[in-house]
């Protein structure tokens, strides 16, 4: 799905609402793999979910769109986006562009 001639896009997403205890992280991982994105997702102590997505622009946009509704059982009230410099190269050869994981929050 990713155009190999374009540089990757990276965005950090903060999702608010009823997003913990509803399978949001696992569904996010599955969707990110479907879109061919790298990155990670984790719960935050304040009840939000934080995720980082990196890959092709259209795939990242598709993932952001999915995050606006989330999985069945979730109620998303707000989505905050922070665009960052990609960690992968233009060919998507870094591990950041190849893997998507669920992380635990660490202070």
Of 29, 43, 68, 104, the active-site residue reads 43
Query: Is 25 designated active site?
Result: yes
Q: Whole-angstrom Cα distance, residue 59 to residue 67?
A: 12
Single out the catalytic residue among 3, 25, 48, 103: 25
Of residues 64, 67, 42, 44, the one with CA closest to residue 54:
64
Instruction: Spell 41-52 as b/e; 16+ CB within 10 A means b.
Output: bbbeeeebbbbb
Residue 30 annotated among the catalytic residues of the structure: no
Catalytic annotation, residues:
25, 43
């Amino acid at each position: 799905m990713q155009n190999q001639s374009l540089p990757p896009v990276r965005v950090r997403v903060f999702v608010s609402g009823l997003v913990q205890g509803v399978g949001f992280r696992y569904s996010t991982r599955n969707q990110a793999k479907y879109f061919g994105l790298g990155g990670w997702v984790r719960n935050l102590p304040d009840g939000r979910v934080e995720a980082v997505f990196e890959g092709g622009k259209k795939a990242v946009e598709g993932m952001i769109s999915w995050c606006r509704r989330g999985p069945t059982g979730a109620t998303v009230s707000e989505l905050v986006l922070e665009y960052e410099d990609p960690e992968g190269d233009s060919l998507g050869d870094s591990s950041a562009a190849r893997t998507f994981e669920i992380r635990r929050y660490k202070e």
